[in-house]
Amino acid sequence: MPIRVLLCDDVEPFRALVRAQLAEDPAIEVVGEAGDGDEGVERATDLQPDVVLLDLTMPGCDGLTAIPRLRRFAPRASIVALSALEARLMAEDVLGRGASKYLEKGADAAAIRAAIHEAYAG
């Protein structure tokens, strides 16, 4: 059974790129997408994915705000946070809020796939 992933990022071309990169791994299935944190929480509540790949900087409800809500409404989902911001400063805050992993947005496809597998494995 593949790892069910929800992509949450406000930039549709980035979601399309990541979706294509994840499709190269038969153990990963993208089950949904969202363009902001509110939609991400709603989709995660409905879909109950195994992993949420979450951008931290989105208009409206950003990823930092969404993390505790995702923990509440999709408690079994692991969260892999992505950001273009300074990693060292963000990582502590993100992990402290309940994310499983933190990656810089420039991470390559192999690193994103590995982070999803690691987050899913616990």
Q: What is the mean pLDDT of the chain?
A: 93
**DSSP designation for 62:** -
What are 46-90's pLDDT values in tens digits?
999 999 999 988 888 888 899 999 999 999 999 999 987 766 667
Give residue 91's pLDDT band: very low, low, confident or very high (50, 70, 90).
Answer: confident
What are 46-58's pLDDT values in tens digits?
999 999 999 988 8
- Cα end-to-end span (Å), the chain: 17
Residue 80, strand partner residues: 53, 101
Domains of the chain: 3-121 (3.40.50.2300)
Supply the pTM of this predicted model. 0.93
Residue 102, strand partner residues: 81
Give residue 93's pLDDT band: very low, low, confident or very high (50, 70, 90).
Answer: confident
